[in-house]
Amino acid sequence: MAGSNRYGWPDAIGTGGRITPEYAKNSAATIESLERRRIEQEQQISSLRAKHTQSIIDGEEFDAGPIRVAEDELTAIITAQRTLVELQKEHERREAEALEKLSDKEKRKRIADQIRKMERDWLDQVKAVEDAARKMAAAYGRAEDARKTLHVALMSQGTSSIGLMSNGFEIRVGTGLSAILAKQIGKGNLGQIKLPASTRDVNLPWVDVELPVCRDVEQTIKRLLSNEMETA
């Protein structure tokens, strides 16, 4: 059986391109996993380049080595993706050739089995979508509770933070979610759910969007510490 490399995909190349049943079964999921890694790697490169640019503006030294390493890693991931796609195509071609050699009854049985497996795979993904939706709803509830607690604490110290108001947080979360869904779906609605057009970078971490709100927090803490020093 083929092994696996640091990208987590079966090393079919290392076995002369041999595609095992296990490899064929997992290839689609592996390609999807590599796509997530590609996006994460591009985010890292974008962040490193932004720091490089800022260091040039500030006249500071910057080690560009990590950028080159990250770019090499991205190239390797993209190469792995393309290789997997080609191997999957080869597997499908061989499957089609094998199907041609079967009797009509065997062909119908093979097709029926494939359709049944497709149904199971589809239902598994439906459950995954539901699980993710429920987890997000629960996570949003916890984030909302944490926001309320922080907002009350700031107000008790005389800080009025517009960014921590409920409607502002809802809008920012809704905008981020709409951006992700719209990019994935490729249109402005998910059934009856309208996805308003968003100019937000879909790769921008949501925590970064909240950073301006944190300035109110930092100012409040700074004021508290300053008052403490004065009374001491």
Taking only the tens of pLDDT, the chain with its 232 residues reads 344 454 444 444 444 444 454 555 566 677 778 888 888 889 889 888 888 888 888 888 888 888 999 999 999 999 988 888 888 888 888 878 877 787 888 888 888 998 999 999 999 999 999 999 999 999 999 999 999 999 999 999 998 888 888 788 998 999 999 888 888 888 888 888 888 777 788 888 999 989 888 888 999 999 899 865 455 4
* Euclidean distance between CA atoms 84 and 89, whole angstroms: 9
For residue 143, give the nearest of 198, 196, 219, 213 by alpha carbon: 213
Distances in whole angstroms, Cα of residue 69 to Cα of each of 52, 82, 195? 14, 20, 37
pTM: 0.54
Two tokens at 219? 């100012």
Asked if 39 and 46 touch (Cβ cutoff 8 Å), the reply is no
- Domain boundaries in the chain? 1-101, 128-232
